[in-house]
Amino acid sequence: MNNVDLSLSRESISDGLETRIVGLNVLYYPSLTSTMDIARAVVHEGCAEGTVVVAGQQTAGRGRLKREWLTPEGNIALSVILYPASAQLPAMIMLASLAVANSIESVTGIKPGIKWPNDILINLRKVSGILIETDARPHRYGHAMYVVIGIGINVNLRPFEYAGIETTATSLSIETRQSVSRLALIRSLLGEMDRLYNELNQGRSLFELWRHRLITIGRTVTVTTVESVYTGIAESVDRDGALYVRCQDGELKKIIAGDVTLR
């Protein structure tokens, strides 16, 4: 493990990074509101695919379901801009969660699990969250889609200092009992995202890799969706990323999007 947290900068992140798409253009801000907002703005300026927006800290980080995402200094907050074919959109969740899990494993030696669809857990506590936003590119760049993959990783967060996440969140420094280099992890993460994106572009599927990393299957879960709340056994996942839950009344429910609590 690399214990030296060299300071983050555009150069330290991108120098010698041997990627083909992800990270070819790195924008670094010591502090900003949310990397998602800056990423959207640079898409509208016509940025290259693979542009990455990295923040030293965020003052208005946001999570899924309109929740707040804490990013005090010492953690990782970044957004990666991709222009995938529309058939690849469901795979973006798989790409992002696999890349985070693989890079955490390679830098710390700890093997995290994925809670459907894309929370990264260690010892059943959340260490990383992923927010994916997608929209049409501005007309002058053609009508293809863009995807912003926002990734937050708790590196040095001390969850017990924040009300509401004391028992549900963790961080890499807590789990490893050592300091973990944000720089090493960001570089590893960009390398993994690039490798997996190239796999997709060569027509290979990430589904089996993602399915094998899921810790949700076989467990009793409560799933909150926009329409309802379901409790049952998480039976399987579909190639499109959806979760199948066998509800208590015996019905098999296909969940496209929602938030899972493990029971």
Q: Nearer Cβ to ligand BTN, position 3 or 241?
A: 241
Which one-letter DSSP state was computed for residue 25? S
Nearest distance in Å: CB 149, ligand BTN: 9
Token pair for residue 259?
């938030």
CA dist 55 and 196 (Å) reads 23
Distance, CA of 195 to CA of 189 (rounded, Å): 10
Output the six-digit token pair for 94.
Answer: 């798989």
Identity of the amino acid at 95: L
Check whether the bond before 117 is cis (ω within 30° of 0).
Answer: yes
Q: How far apart are CA 86 and CA 114, in angstroms?
A: 24
- We find the least distance from the C-beta atom of residue 19 to ligand BTN, in angstroms, to be 19
Sign of the torsion formed by the C-alpha atoms of 88, 89, 94 and 96? positive
Which residue type sits at 51? T
The smaller minimum CB distance to ligand BTN, of residues 77 and 180, is found at 77
Q: Which is nearer to ligand BTN, 44 or 67 (CB)?
A: 67
Min separation Cβ 235 and ligand BTN, Å: 24
Q: How many helices (H) and strands (E) does the chain have?
A: 6, 12
CB of 158 to ligand BTN, least distance (A): 17
Toward ligand BTN, which CB reaches closer, 128 or 173?
128
Query: What's the min distance (Å) between Cβ of 140 and ligand BTN?
Result: 26
Can you give the binding site for ligand BTN, defined by CB under 6 A? 34-36, 58, 61-64, 67, 69, 71, 77-79, 119, 129-131, 150-152
In the bound state with ligand BTN, the residue whose beta carbon lies nearer, of 56 and 61, is 61
